[in-house]
Chain A
Amino acid sequence: MPPPPPHRPTSTSTPSGKGELAELKTQLRQLAGSRAPGVEDLKRELYKKVISYMTIGIDVSPLFSEMVMCSATSDVVLKKMCYLYVGNYARVHPDLALLTINFLQKDCQDEYPMIRGLALRSLCSLRVQNLVEYLVGPLRSGLKDTHGYVRTVAVLGVLKLYHIAPNACKDNDFPAMLKELIHRDGDSQLHFSFVSGGIQFFYLMNNEHMIYMIKDFSEWAQCLVLEMVAKYVPEDPNETFDIMNLLEDRLQHANSAVVLATIKVFLNLTMSMADVHQQVYERIKAPLMTLVSSGSPEQSYAVLCHLHLLVMRAPVLFSSDYKHFYCRYSDPSYIKKLKLEMLTAVANENNTYEIVTELSEYAANVDVAIARESIRAVGKIALQQYDVNAIVDRLLQFLEMEKDYVTAETLVLVKDLLRKYPQWSQDCIAVVGNVSSKHVQEPKAKAALLWMLGEYALEMPDAPYVLEGFVESWAEEESPEVRLELLTAVAKCFFRRAPETQKILGAALAAALSDAHQDVHDRGLLYYRLLQHGVETAERVINPPKQAVSVFADTQSSEIKDRIFDEFNTLAVVYQQPSYMFLDKEHRGAFEFSDDTSTNASVTESSETMLASQSVDANDNDLLLSASEKEDTRGNLVSNGSSSYVAPSNSLIDGLGSFTVPPAASSLPTASFAIDDLLGLSLSTNSPESTLAQPSLVLNAKPALNPGAFQQKWRQLPVASTEDYGLSSQAAANLTGPQPLLKHMQTHLIHCIASGGQAPNFKFFFFAQKSNASTGLGYFLVECIINVTARKCTVNYKTDESDLLESFAAVFKSAILNFGV
């Protein structure tokens, strides 16, 4: 509770109980009928007291009737306090609200426009369903009031009425009245609130009319008009250019919201005109850059988010502006982060050197979180480019800085680089070999180092001995991820340098078999049996020849990106998520109902616009930039096709999108990951059948199913069964990304074909095939939606082998329940 409320002229104690309230009650009552001089001042003090109690959260609703009784006054401030009080308690006490109607209605006819306006506003803000009938009359006269202030309030009042009772609004012909008003009234402030109010009714109608008047609107109203124009579909290119010419000066407005809204109009209007669209990018660059460098950090953040979106869509167009994305020392970290991402995106052959030089300074300078981000950025740039020698040198210099967090981030990156460009192994390995394992503490970095030790055991003379050190401290190693990696690394080292490693491998296997973690134990067992079976077989399984990874999968599909782009200048851009992912259902529908009424208001117009807006949607897909992006992704997928795991193709993603469960409950439906083959657990070889599956159902260790076939099957088959499982808290804690579960399910011979989401919501598509099934049959398809916070997992099964469904479900259930145990 905050300190005592201000302005308490007489009493010094807070109303500890009913006593104080009762006292206030009697005082108010005495003043109610009084006409003595100075009574207004006394009333004011009392009202203030009541309001200050209300402010600090004390329930003063028992005073309701006294407050209303005292409200017969000509003092505006008293009135305002009274309206505030009434507005606060009316919703909680609808019965009391009825009491106020009378005096509010009376005030709506006051001689002063200020009081008429205020009373009407309060009346409309009561938000009590059963009082709607009392609103209509005052609103109607409000719209016809002689004073602009009252009309303004009335227009917004209509919107408020619409919000609680759309039918009452239509039945009383308010849309028509508003329409008439805008044509008749030359009063710009009225237009202003007409926009904020009336827009809900005819958001497409009249908009040309509005564009011509835009200069008379206040800045906030301009934003709304522009928002409306952005929805408009011009009849021909000439109209598009007319609108753009008319609005071009808005880019010079000092209000960043107006500028952004104008940019949205430009981008939307030129969607189908690829070359003009590109020119728009050029035109809006300067205003955007200016907005970023002026104003408060919060404002530049909002603008940067939008710039970020545009940069991500068309990095090429911004590649010469990279210096604008350099971080200042005093930038808040949320701004630095965005800038780093943009620097990464715009890097190309010409500016890479300078950008990486700049990023290297951040790695040495600013705070740890940003230093890490900048190292990651360097790595990402390295992965994007063809000529990365210079970058590799930089990364290796990072290792020489001997700062723990720098080393850790760099190791992870060097590992990724090696997976993509194995040809640099010599340079990298020479330096990595010098990294003292004592300086590496973070699990991810340790795993990366171990992977390199295993993979390049031949190039690093002391690899077995470093590994030996790790194995000796097996018990102290807390992260199961590292222990798994260690086991694999030792095994791989063994295949390359058997004599030196044999002893360590024995120790590692022994440690793994007695490990408490299920995965580590299982892998130990698997390796042991493989080795028993024959060293060569084991090598083929554990250490098959690897292909360089050509592309690390993007985390967000282009469909999602397009949807975010459609919602330019809203929160969607800031969150980098389409609005359906973060909004409650009831708050999404603003457009639906406005569509609905515009149909009522003007049938012909709306049907035309509906058609038009559909064609816009179609055009969206043909958009130059997104189309080329899509093509890129496809190209990448083809080149990826030869590796053992295939990221699902776009068409699959689109297909999945169409049968997602209601978005609020589900997660990102589309994101996909190429599965890390870090563990060396390649499926491209024949491994012996697992002993883990139940005897009645033996699963194929190497089921072949490409994404297209999966998608087709998923479409054809009905949902055979749906189950809900609760997850253990450990499992939930382990599930920070989709990867751990994928790996875990693989050990149970259930494979993932697509996965996505971010904490707390994840979605997976798994499949498995019974052993010895004829080609194309015996599949089990699973859609699995996990909410980590609720520790809930919803599973939909589909299969063409319904006899075995039960036992498969049992396998799946035990597999998923075992996760994290």
Chain B
Amino acid sequence: MAGATSALFLLDMKGRVLIWRDYRGDVSSAQVEKFFSKLIEREGDPASHDPVVFDDGVTYMFIQYNNVYILTAARQNCNAASMLLFLHRVVDVFKHYFEELEEESLRDNFVVVYELLDEIMDFGYPQYTEAKILSEFIKTDAYRMEVTQRPPMAVTNAVSWRSEGIRYKKNEVFLDVVESVNILVNSNGQVVRSDVVGALKMRTYLSGMPECKLGLNDRVLLEAQGRATKGKAVDLDDIKFHQCVRLARFENDRTISFIPPDGAFDLMTYRLSTQVKPLIWVEAQVERHSRSRVEYTVKARSQFKERSTATNVEIELPVSSDATTPSVRTSMGSAVYAPEREALLWKIKSFPGGKDYMLRAQFGLPSITAEDSAPEKHPPIRVKFEIPYFTVSGIQVRYLKIIEKSGYQALPWVRYITTAGEYELRMI
């Protein structure tokens, strides 16, 4: 059986203990503090260290969030994947409670933090990590006076992610279909990797215990129903569902049915590994004139249909760290030099499909270079954009049915958007 965690720590940036909760009594806070401070000192930036560290019989797993480290210490052979995920869930819980998780918010609310640490884990095993549920029996100071002394049903309910008795005047559901495109182009201009990660993000404001049913243009489903699939259906490679979705049901007849949690959550994620044509293509030519001047010629092309428009396009063009006196001309949008990021940021508010835009930039270089300068890092060109009303996969929500026993009518709102994920084009 998977091992249990000995204790959970919240540490500041110097590795000092802010708050900790001991679950099994086999690690001491002094020991952890000593080790972790040393690690921070040695590594400079512990974020570059792998998140699982071993020292003197104790395994530490940590993540960083703002100016706080969240860390578990364990003496047993525990499950790394589950603990690291648990840490992220803990962050979510704190964020729900204190708006933002940071040193100050933890200090200000230490009593609540203790209460939460008591319920999210017992004897080293994760228990309740649903902020919505926890917030029903652990209140922040503001609501402290109306103490509930009865644990809500959800804690002991079959539906652990939703409580009974939720009421809204207006019953609404917002469903965002967000696809992010990851692309990697090597310095020869070849696309070496591309995939699309999609997510159906939901925000539900529904009363009672609503039964939801979602219909997609899923090829497997449509074919099973004997419907025509003239190019409209999509193949989704690898689908993952929120725990509320009845997986067995989906396995059987591809129906996505669920009782949603209250508020925002990711209903499902999927991945398409088909080759995707880069939606925005960027080419950069770099010319070094003698030692004093470097010239960039950048061409950006939108490779999607003309009826779509990319918004908030930002092309981050890396320039060498000692470049000075920029002079830039663009055929569209504006470009600013951001020395702190060692990059030129070219922003285009609106970029319709099938267009070409140009940028020319010139930088001065110091005539003397430092002798022992660090080797150049050659970061890639990175692109950010959003294309509303468009998905790469062509996924469509055919229906979203909401049935509740009180019989109210709920309004579903659906939106589609494609964004750039890890979108990297390496320069020569």
Interface residues, chain A, CB within 8 Å of chain B? Answer: 2, 5-7, 48, 51-52, 55, 57, 74-77, 80-81, 84, 87-88, 91, 112-115, 117-118, 121, 125, 127, 147-149, 152-153, 156, 159-160, 163, 187-190, 192-193, 196-197, 199-200, 203, 215-216, 218-220, 223-224, 227-228, 248-250, 252-257, 259-261, 286-287, 289-290, 293-299, 301-303, 305-306, 323-324, 326, 328-330, 332-334, 354, 357-358, 361, 364-368, 403, 405, 567, 569-575, 579, 582-584, 587-588, 590-591, 594
Contacts and interface: CB of A to CB of B under 8 A. Distances in A.
Contacts of B84: 296, 298-299, 301-302
A326 B110 CA distance: 43
A228 B197 CA distance: 32
Given A2-B18, A147-B151, A293-B195, 7 more contacts: A55-B18, A115-B149, A188-B158, A196-B125, A223-B82, A296-B88, A298-B51
Interface residues of B, number: 96
Main secondary structure of the interface of A (DSSP, over half): helix
Contact of A293 (B110, B149, B182): B182
15 contacts: A7-B110, A121-B118, A125-B123, A148-B156, A160-B123, A219-B243, A220-B129, A250-B247, A254-B269, A256-B85, A299-B84, A358-B186, A361-B187, A570-B3, A584-B75
B2 A227 contact: yes
B377 interface: yes
A320 to B, nearest CB: 11
B426 interface: yes
B2 A305 contact: no
B75 A287 contact: no
Main secondary structure of the interface of B (DSSP, over half): mixed
Given A193-B127, A220-B127, A254-B240, A587 B248 contact: no
Interface stretch (B42-50, B166-174, B334-342, B403-411): B42-50
Interface string B106-145: 0110110011001000110111110000000100000010
A286 B160 contact: no
A290 B377 contact: no
B46 to A, nearest CB: 11
Nearest to B19: A55
Which of the listed residues B57, B110, B151 has the most CB atoms from chain A within 10 Å of its own CB?
B151
Contacts of B88: 295-296, 298-299
B399 interface: no
A583 B192 contact: no
Given A368-B375, A569-B79, A114 B149 contact: yes
Nearest to B84: A298
Contacts of A354: 192
A244 B375 CA distance: 52
B123 A113 contact: no
B76 interface: yes
A334 B242 contact: no
B389 interface: no
Given A2-B16, A81-B111, A571-B52, A76 B240 contact: no
B248 to A, nearest CB: 6
B35 interface: no
Given A293-B195, A569-B81, A80 B115 contact: yes
Given A148-B156, A361-B187, A299 B81 contact: yes
Which of the listed residues A147, A250, A302, A367 has the most CB atoms from chain B within 10 Å of its own CB?
A302
B266 A254 contact: yes
Contacts of A84: 114, 118
B75 A587 contact: yes
A403 B375 contact: yes
A330 B128 CA distance: 33
A367 B75 CA distance: 34
Contacts of A80: 111, 114-115, 118
A169 B373 CA distance: 67
- The 9 A-B residue pairs whose C-beta atoms are closest, nearest first, are A148-B156, A257-B82, A249-B247, A334-B50, A302-B81, A286-B238, A220-B126, A196-B125, A298-B51
A19 B157 CA distance: 50
Contact of B422 (A290, A328, A582): A328
B243 A254 contact: yes
Contacts of A260: 79, 81-82
A531 B28 CA distance: 64
A365 B122 contact: no
Contacts of A57: 17, 29
A248 B151 CA distance: 34
B359 interface: no
Nearest to A248: B251
A254 to B, nearest CB: 5
A582 B147 contact: no
Nearest to A303: B81
Contacts of B241: 252-254
Interface in B218-259: 237-243, 246-248, 250-251
A328 B50 contact: no
B77 interface: yes
Which of the listed residues A189, A227, A259 has the most CB atoms from chain B within 10 Å of its own CB?
A189
B84 to A, nearest CB: 5
B1 A203 contact: yes
B208 interface: no
A324 B197 CA distance: 14
A112 to B, nearest CB: 4
A587 B3 contact: yes
Nearest to A664: B57
Contacts of A192: 127
Contact of A361 (B25, B111, B122, B186): B186
Nearest to A196: B125
